[in-house]
Amino acid sequence: AQTVTQSQPEMSVQEAETVTLSCTYDTSESDYYLFWYKQPPSRQMILVIRQEAYKQQNATENRFSVNFQKAAKSFSLKISDSQLGDAAMYFCAYRKIQGAQKLVFGQGTRLTINP
Amino acid sequence: EAGVVQSPRYKIIEKKQPVAFWCNPISGHNTLYWYRQNLGQGPELLIRYENEEAVDDSQLPKDRFSAERLKGVDSTLKIQPAELGDSAVYLCASSVGSSPIYFGEGSWLTVV
């Protein structure tokens, strides 16, 4: 079974600084998707960024970028120029391409932005 | 484009009472998911539908939980009778093909 591990329960960063959230996963699949979701106090899961495992290029979305290391099964999220609105729970998630299409989530990292 | 719509947003019930949650997915999304999220944890899948067929319900506690997706669009998740441990946020999500999975705002359940 696939598992996703986020080893940092909490992180904090000064406004305008850069922070990196860690995620590792375990799978025997060669093709899959990885995601980072943001969950503010409202509890809605908001998609931040998506990475296809067959792509070597790391995905970027404005201030958000990932460092995808397939061999190490590592998928970290870098937030540049942190803003107060970035404060939330961040979840790393895995999804197979073939077969079961469900998302498997990590335990989450609570990110605090200090003004 | 409208997102995934869930109702009610909040529900407080006494244990042993029934409760139902409703979900309307994004138009055109044939795959619908119900997830449960306990406090301080990541969401866990309860059931996944492909159109009107439940294709993954292995984590659904079938003794008290039931779900349906009539006509392959809206879905209802029911708990009867509710237990204290059912207090959680119930998230509905939808997708089509290999598109990302989009979530609703969730239904917060408190069982007292």
Residue of B nearest to A110 (CA): B40
Residue B58, chain A, CB below 8 Å: the answer is no
Distance CA B12, CA B15 (A): 10
pLDDT at A112: 97
DSSP letters for B29-61? --EEEEEEE-TTS--EEEEEEETTEEEE-TTS-
DSSP annotation of A97 reads S
What confidence tier does A100 reach under pLDDT thresholds 50, 70, 90? Answer: low
- CB-based contact A108 B101, cutoff 8 Å: no
Distance CA A23, CA A37 (A): 12
Q: What is the mean pLDDT of residues B1-18?
A: 94
Beta bridge partners of B56: B48
Residue B19, chain A, CB below 8 Å: the answer is no
Q: Which residues contact A115 (CB under 8 A, 6 or more apart)?
A: A15, A84
Amino acid at B51: N
Is it the case that residue A103 has pLDDT exceeding 70?
yes
Rounded to a whole number of angstroms, the distance from the CA of B10 to the nearest CA of chain A is 11
- CB-based contact B101 A103, cutoff 8 Å: yes
pLDDT at B45: 94
* Chain B residues whose beta carbon lies within 8 Å of the beta carbon of residue A95: 101
Residue of B nearest to A96 (CA): B98
Q: Please, how many CA atoms are within 13 Å of residue B83, restricted to the half-sphere of its CB?
A: 5
- CB-based contact A103 B103, cutoff 8 Å: no
- CB-based contact A47 B100, cutoff 8 Å: yes
From the list A33, A46, A105, the residue facing B43 with the nearest CB is A105
Residue of B nearest to A97 (CA): B98
Distance CA A110, CA B1 (A): 30
Burial (CB count <10 Å: 0-12, 13-18, 19+), residue B12: exposed
The conformational region for residue A102 under phi > 0 = left, psi -120 to 50 = alpha, else beta, is: beta
pLDDT tens-digit map of B19-66: 999 999 999 999 999 999 998 899 999 999 999 999 888 889 999 999
pLDDT tens-digit map of A31-72: 999 999 999 988 889 999 999 999 889 999 999 999 999 999
Angle at B102 between CA A40 and CA B91, to 5 degrees: 65
- Percent residues over pLDDT 70 in chain A: 98
Residue A44, chain B, CB below 8 Å: the answer is yes
- CB-based contact A43 B101, cutoff 8 Å: no
Q: Number of A:B CB contacts under 8 A? A: 54
